[in-house]
């Protein structure tokens, strides 16, 4: 099959393109997706003081700047070989969990919500946040906006700025918080826990109470048996900020657990001639193509994966939800891609509870927030769980801390192979010979894509619209467009 070309970028925030090729019988032959590639990042970084990367890398992406800030800061700790001051670590983790609350909330209400609350085949003009508000009411929307504003307030108290935090320094953070700020954070995080509980209840009422949705989630078209990656603490509980990377298999057993700094021994990258995307896979299993099963090294890194790869959640309410999630969906592991939305809400509750725990930790107002580095190692890896998957930052420097080499694996990239597979399987399940391919069908295929919440490491803003996503059905033989849907123009 010839190389799939990407149109000139329509506008930033990522340009998504899904191409479905059908054969003469009208059956799916192949499915590709493409996203834009940004160029020259390593060249941009080389020659700069490594500390600057904590402020540069967040600008790769307007969606999760906090994740890049944290991964970068941890990599820089390692480059200087400095232990992080305990309170510095608490503040970083608090900021990071508050960010998760915002990110997961936004995804549920703005991206996932419309599919479920409005219905996957509803009029696209109503399948959006405004339609959601029409259904769930202004009060909920107002609460969501308020939560975002309060989370931003908390993040700026620690991070120094709302959008692109600047607090992370080797050995800790730049400033301590006051008792008054702490009191406000306790108040804000209390609200976060309530909102997370409410959101799970809403998911119950809207999604789980609707048998059609539950069947859709569990359906074979949206299922893949893959490996799962996620960071865990010393008790194998989900942790977003720190821990070891654990990989479990399609049967739920642990394949491996490694330090983030050893990632190159565990992850390799496959390339395809038709695409500039890279497809990471597990080295110990090997690349067997775009297939699932225990012999294929394809893995996923997402909320679904983190819950599968861990033994539980470290906070009480989230643990209850974790248990309910698995018991409802038939036990561990859950392979249903669309269950990612539910998993995301379980994580939302954990993030809120964890933020509250940290805000109420007596040590959080300790003024000693940073250890000053005294030497340099010259190489470091920083790993966090970004909302869209495990995020690796790897830097090398000279003996003065000037960057010589940078390697990143960003959250979405982990899932490139799985996204391709999910799109193909959904398309195969929904497009049969002779069936009419309508907007609703293409949206269902997009739902497989959206579950991963792909983020394209692109720029930060949107003009004239948001991410244009184009789904095109083409004839395999003639390459003529049979039908297409574009979500932008």
Partner 1 sequence: MTLGSTLVLGMGNPILSDDGVGLLVAERLRGTTLPDGVEVLQSEVAGLRLLELVRGFTRVIIIDALKSPAEVEREPGEIVRYEAKDFKGGHRYGSAHSIGLDTALELGHTLGYDMPGVVTVFAIEAVDVETFGEELSPPVAAAAERVLGMIAAELAAGADAA
| Positions in the binding site for partner 1 (CB under 8 A) | 7-14, 16, 36-41, 43-44, 56, 59, 62-63, 103, 106-107, 110-111, 114, 124-125, 127-131, 133, 138, 141-142, 145, 148-149, 152, 163-164, 449-450, 453-455, 459-469, 487-489
How far apart CA 272 and CA 447 sit, in angstroms, is: 24
Q: List, as one string, the DSSP characters of 234-274.
A: TTSBB-SSSSEEEEE-TTS-EEEEE-GGGHHHHEEEEE-TT
Residue number with CB closer to partner 1 (115 or 256) = 115
**Closest separation in Å from C-beta 23 to partner 1:** 28
**Closest separation in Å from C-beta 293 to partner 1:** 27
**Closest separation in Å from C-beta 133 to partner 1:** 6
Residue number with CB closer to partner 1 (160 or 312) = 160
**Closest separation in Å from C-beta 431 to partner 1:** 21
Residue number with CB closer to partner 1 (12 or 349) = 12
* Sheet arrangement for strand 227-232: 254-258, 244-248, 227-232, 299-300
- Kindly tell me the burial class for residue 414, based on how many C-beta atoms sit within 10 Å of its own C-beta (0-12, 13-18, 19 or more): buried
Residue number with CB closer to partner 1 (130 or 372) = 130
How far apart CA 45 and CA 43 sit, in angstroms, is: 5
**Closest separation in Å from C-beta 465 to partner 1:** 4
In contact, 397 and 373? CB cutoff 8 Å: no
Report the first-to-last Cα separation within the chain, whole angstroms. 29
Residue number with CB closer to partner 1 (329 or 409) = 409
Paired tokens of 152: 């931003």
Paired tokens of 18: 């899904």
**Closest separation in Å from C-beta 316 to partner 1:** 29
How far apart CA 147 and CA 140 sit, in angstroms, is: 10
**Closest separation in Å from C-beta 176 to partner 1:** 27
Q: What are phi and psi of 363, to 5 degrees?
A: -75, -10
Burial readout 186-207 (b: 16 or more C-beta within 10 A, e: otherwise): eebbebbbebbbebbebbeebb
Residue number with CB closer to partner 1 (46 or 206) = 46
**Closest separation in Å from C-beta 230 to partner 1:** 20
**Closest separation in Å from C-beta 199 to partner 1:** 16
How far apart CA 300 and CA 452 sit, in angstroms, is: 9
CB atoms within 10 A of CB 145: 11
**Closest separation in Å from C-beta 160 to partner 1:** 15
Residue number with CB closer to partner 1 (35 or 409) = 35
Task: List the one residue out of 327, 294, 301, 146 whose CA is nearest residue 232.
Answer: 301
Residue number with CB closer to partner 1 (62 or 380) = 62
Residue number with CB closer to partner 1 (166 or 377) = 166
Instruction: Give, for 486, the enclosing helix (H) or strand (E).
Output: strand 481-486
Residue 273 half-sphere exposure, CB side, CA atoms within 13 Å? 3
Residue number with CB closer to partner 1 (29 or 202) = 202
How long is the chain? Answer: 489
**Closest separation in Å from C-beta 423 to partner 1:** 13
Contacts of 161 (CB under 8 A, 6+ apart): none
Contacts of 316 (CB under 8 A, 6+ apart): 353
Q: What is the 3-state secondary structure (H, E, C) of 69-131?
A: HHHHHHHHHHHHCCCCCHHHHHHHHHHHHHHHHHHHHHHHHHHHHHHHHHCCCCCCCCCCHHH
Residue number with CB closer to partner 1 (378 or 411) = 411
Residue number with CB closer to partner 1 (77 or 453) = 453
**Closest separation in Å from C-beta 277 to partner 1:** 15
């Amino acid at each position: 099959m010839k190389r799939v070309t990407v149109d000139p970028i329509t506008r930033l925030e990522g340009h998504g393109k899904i191409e479905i090729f059908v054969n003469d019988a009208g059956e799916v032959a192949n499915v590709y997706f493409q996203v834009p590639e940004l160029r020259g990042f390593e060249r941009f970084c080389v020659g700069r003081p490594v500390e600057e990367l904590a402020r540069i890398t967040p600008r790769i992406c307007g969606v999760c700047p906090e994740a890049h800030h944290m991964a970068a800061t941890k990599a820089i700790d390692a480059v200087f070989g400095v232990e992080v001051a305990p309170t510095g670590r608490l503040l970083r983790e608090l900021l990071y969990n508050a960010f998760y609350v915002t990110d997961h909330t936004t995804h549920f209400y703005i991206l996932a919500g419309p599919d479920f609350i409005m219905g996957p085949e509803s009029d696209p003009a109503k399948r959006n946040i405004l339609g959601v508000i029409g259904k769930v009411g202004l009060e909920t929307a107002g609460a969501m906006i308020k939560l975002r504003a309060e989370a931003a307030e908390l993040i700026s108290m620690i991070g120094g700025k709302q959008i692109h935090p600047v607090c992370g320094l080797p050995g800790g953070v730049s400033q301590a918080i006051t008792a008054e700020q702490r009191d406000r954070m306790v108040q804000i995080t209390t609200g976060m826990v309530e909102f997370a509980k409410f959101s799970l209840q809403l998911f119950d009422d809207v999604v789980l109470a609707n048998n059609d949705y539950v069947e859709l989630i569990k359906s074979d078209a949206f299922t893949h048996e893959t490996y799962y990656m996620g960071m865990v603490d010393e008790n194998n509980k989900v942790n977003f900020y720190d821990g070891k990377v654990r990989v479990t298999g399609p049967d739920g057993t642990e394949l491996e657990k490694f330090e983030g700094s050893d990632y190159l021994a565990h992850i390799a990258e496959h390339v395809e001639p038709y695409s500039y995307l890279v497809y990471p896979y597990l080295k110990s299993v090997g690349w067997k193509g775009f297939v699932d099963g225990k012999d294929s090294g394809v893995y996923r890194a997402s909320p679904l994966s983190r819950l599968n790869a861990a033994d539980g959640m470290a906070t009480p309410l989230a643990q209850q939800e974790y248990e309910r999630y698995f018991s409802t969906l038939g036990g561990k592991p859950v392979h249903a891609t669309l269950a990612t939305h539910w998993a995301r809400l379980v994580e939302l509750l954990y993030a809120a509870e964890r933020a509250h725990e940290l805000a109420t930790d007596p040590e959080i107002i300790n003024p000693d927030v940073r250890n000053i580095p005294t030497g340099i190692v010259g190489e470091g890896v920083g790993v966090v769980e970004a909302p869209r998957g495990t995020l690796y930052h790897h830097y090398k420097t000279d003996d003065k801390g000037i960057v010589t080499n940078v390697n990143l694996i960003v959250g979405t990239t982990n899932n490139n192979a799985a996204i391709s597979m999910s799109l193909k399987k959904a398309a195969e399940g929904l497009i049969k010979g002779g069936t009419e391919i309508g907007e609703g069908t293409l949206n269902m295929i997009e739902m497989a894509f959206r579950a991963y919440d792909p983020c394209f490491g692109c720029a930060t803003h949107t003009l004239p619209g948001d991410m244009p996503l184009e789904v095109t059905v083409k004839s395999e033989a003639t390459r003529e467009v049979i039908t297409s849907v574009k979500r932008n123009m």
